[in-house]
Structures are given as C-alpha cells and as structure tokens.
Amino acid sequence: MYFLSEEERRLVLRKLLPQARAEGVSEELRGWRWSEPPLAPIYDTRLGVYEVAGQYCQSGRDLYLRRVLGVKEPPNRAMLDGSALHALVAAMLTATKRAIYAAPEVGIGDIDGGGCLTALETSLAEANFAVLHDDNTELAEKARLLYRYEYRRIVERVEGVLAQQPHIGADALAALSLPVVVEQRLNGALLGLSGHLSADAFTFAEPMVVDIKFGKHEDFHRLSTTGYALVMESIYEYPINLGCIVYPSFYRGRLTIERDFHIIGDELRQRFIDDRDTRARLVEEEIDPRLPAVCYEGCPFWRHCH
C-alpha cells in the first residue's frame, strides 16, 4: 500500500515536490507557527484529526452526539472491515522489520541475507494473521488478496536491497527496504488536537503523509493528511508538503489501487484550521448542529437522530 511504483516515484520527485516548493506555503500556515493565529487554538477542547477531517456527517452532529451527549455506538460493518484491513497491512510491515532485526549476522553490521529471507517468510506466514481466516468470508477473501499483494511487494523490496548491498546491517536493510513508519504516534496538543494521534504512515523515501481509505473517494479525505502534516510540522519543525490517499478496492476477485497525490497547500491548511475551530466550538459550547441535509448510509448514530 505504501510503496510507490517507479512511475509514481518519478511523478512525486520530478513534478509534485518541485511544484510544491514553487507554490510555497504561507509561513503563518506552517505547523511550527502553532503559537500564533490562525493556528493557535481558540478553545480548550482537544479533537482527534478524524473528528475534524472525518466529515461523513455533513453537519457534524455525530461529533455532538459523541462528545457532548456521550452517546456510544459500535462501529458499522464497513468501519470494522476497514480497521481489520488497516491492521493487516501494519502488522505485515511490523513483522517484516522484526524479522530483519532478528536475522543472524555473519559479521559486525553484515546480515545473513539467506537467513533473513527465511526468517521473513516465517514471520509473514498466513497463519500469523487471524483476519485471513475470519468467519466473515467476504472480509477474509479481501484480506487474502491484500496479503498476497503486500507479501510480494515486501519480499521484492527486501530482496532488491540485499542484491544491491551484499554487506548490509539489519538497521540499514530495514530503513532502505521499508522506509515507512506505520501507525505513527503524534501529540497534537500544540495545535489544539488530541495528544494521542495515530497517522496511518509517513514515508521517508518520498517525504509524504499517507492515509489508506477502504471506501469511495471523498473530498474531505485530504483533510486527514493535512492535519497530520500540520502536527508533524509543529513537533519536528520541518516542512511536509505532500499527502497521498490510497484507495484499495476489490473487484471480481482482484485488488485494485488508486492513489490521490496532493500538495498540502494553503487552501487545505486553512480549511483544516477553520473546521478545527468550528468543531471545537460545537463541543465546548454544546451546540446542536441538527441534522444534515442528507444522512450518509450506514451512520452508526442513525437511530439517535430519527
């Protein structure tokens, strides 16, 4: 999911990154300006990025019900399936890194390539991932398609680095073959957000915030990558200019993937901050925004509104 094809890498490095640098970002909208308007939080309420960016309920009444009235509803089927598939991808990458670090060395800083690949195959065995055998046969089939795709990509990347670098240590192998941090934990307090955020992934080879969405495209999805980019800028004080939403889908027994690359420019940043303030006010002042014009299918709060 997180590894780009050669064509996509060229698109990012030759077009999008130069374009982002040329367009620039207003200094006041960089995350490291968190102590000044417009980034400085107005309200004490701390929101998760998903509470700002997940605008499936157009009026935000789901946020009101959850945070003001304390309504708790279990996630719907699509949410549960998406979470399980997310977890599978993250678990496979984590298992790969664990196998690399556990592989034997033939010398100081010189990993046993054959032993590493054997350990990798054992670590990525199907038996290690429960979702592949889920009682929900439709979910299990999707998981198997996703597993096979990720397995091939991961092994190919590790083998490729080993082929180019016959004398390489475990840490360098992990960094070169898997230049991605999954489920990165972030503290968004400086921007008036939750102190316990979790970004899907950040890739270092192509500096970019990546988010996976199992579902149809929505224009507000880009607010998720924008929010995490702002938080990372507030913490680490280096610029994050690109985001990518990955849309896996399953069709006739095969996996297809679309990627929405985008520049995290002024418009997205300002929109995220405006929505953060609007939603924080909704919670802090206990404002019921009422029903949206159209309720989305599968809303877990439906029975509380109708």
Domains, the chain:
6-70+180-289 (3.90.320), 77-177 (no CATH)
Question: Which pLDDT band holds residue 20 (cuts at 50, 70, 90)?
Answer: very high
Q: What pLDDT score was predicted for residue 259?
A: 97
**How many other C-beta atoms lie within 10 A of the C-beta of residue 10?**
11
The residue to which tokens 């999911």 are assigned? 1
Please answer whether residues 90 and 178 qualify as being in contact, where contact means their C-beta atoms are separated by less than 8 angstroms: no
Query: Is pLDDT of 205 > 80?
Result: no
Q: What pLDDT score was predicted for residue 188?
A: 96
Q: Provide the residue type at 88 as one letter.
A: L
Rounded Cα distance between 47 and 191, Å, is: 10
Q: What pLDDT score was predicted for residue 105?
A: 81
**Mean pLDDT computed over 193-222:** 91
Listed in sequence order, the DSSP H helices in the chain are 6-10, 17-23, 49-53, 61-63, 77-102, 113-123, 137-164, 170-177, 222-236, 266-284, 302-305
Q: What pLDDT score was predicted for residue 106?
A: 74
Cis before residue 292, ω within 30 degrees of 0?
Answer: no
Q: What pLDDT score was predicted for residue 167?
A: 87
Question: Which pLDDT band holds residue 203 (cuts at 50, 70, 90)?
Answer: confident
Rounded Cα distance between 82 and 164, Å, is: 36
Exposed, middle or buried: residue 42 (CB in 10 Å: 0-12, 13-18, 19+)? middle
Give residue-wise pLDDT tens across range 21-77.
999 999 999 999 999 999 999 999 999 999 999 999 999 999 999 999 999 989 989
Give residue-wise pLDDT tens across range 229-242.
999 999 999 999 99
What's the whole-number average pLDDT of the chain? 94
Asked which of 79-83, 111-115, 267-271 is least confident by mean pLDDT, the reply is 111-115
Q: Which two tokens stand for residue 111?
A: 């990993």
Give residue-wise pLDDT tens across range 101-151.
998 887 767 888 888 999 999 999 998 999 999 999 999 999 999 999 999
Question: Which pLDDT band holds residue 289 (cuts at 50, 70, 90)?
Answer: very high
Q: Is the dihedral of CA 121, 123, 126, 132 positive or negative?
A: negative
**Mean pLDDT computed over 263-290:** 98
Q: What pLDDT score was predicted for residue 112?
A: 86
